[in-house]
Amino acid sequence: MTEHSNQVYAGIPRSEIAWFPTLNLERCDGCGECVRHCKHDVFAVVDEKPVVAKPENCVVGCKACGWICPIGAITHPSKDKLREMMKHARLKYGFSLVQTDKR
């Protein structure tokens, strides 16, 4: 897969959006389902356990690896947290949250 580090999401640099999985390595049994499932190369295997190697490759809003994990060792920010991140980023990059053009 390609690396997405120079990508933008909704006009915002992807590096500004802290959306990526968090692994609880104490719970993780190293089954590798997340590594096999993710087609965006977010994960790598280090010392027989997955790690989030390329967090910016994670598709914003996707939680599939968390759903596929058989023991629930993967979490993501809440949708409310994502909305807050996006709101802050839109304001930072000059996107209006309200349409002002009345044509």
Q: Check which CATH number belongs to the domain holding 86 and give it.
A: 3.30.70.20
pLDDT value, residue 2: 46
Q: Is residue 97 part of a domain?
A: no
pLDDT per position as a tens digit, 10-26: 889 999 999 999 999 99
Q: Is residue 100 part of a domain?
A: no
pLDDT value, residue 103: 53
Q: Which residues of 15-37 are buried (b: 16+ CB within 10 A; e: fewer)?
A: eebebbbebeeeebeeeebbbee
Enter the pTM of the model. 0.80
Q: Which residues of the chain have pLDDT under 50?
A: 1-4
pLDDT value, residue 1: 44
Q: Is residue 2 part of a domain?
A: no
| Six token digits for residue 16 | 């500004």
Percent with pLDDT over 90 in the chain = 74
- Structural domains counted in the chain: 1
Q: Is residue 70 part of a domain?
A: yes
Q: Is residue 60 part of a domain?
A: yes
pLDDT value, residue 59: 96
Q: Is residue 37 part of a domain?
A: yes
Q: Can you tell me whether residue 50 is helix, strand or coil?
A: strand
Q: Is residue 102 part of a domain?
A: no
pLDDT value, residue 97: 56
Q: Is residue 42 part of a domain?
A: yes
List the domain range (segments joined by +) for residue 41: 8-92
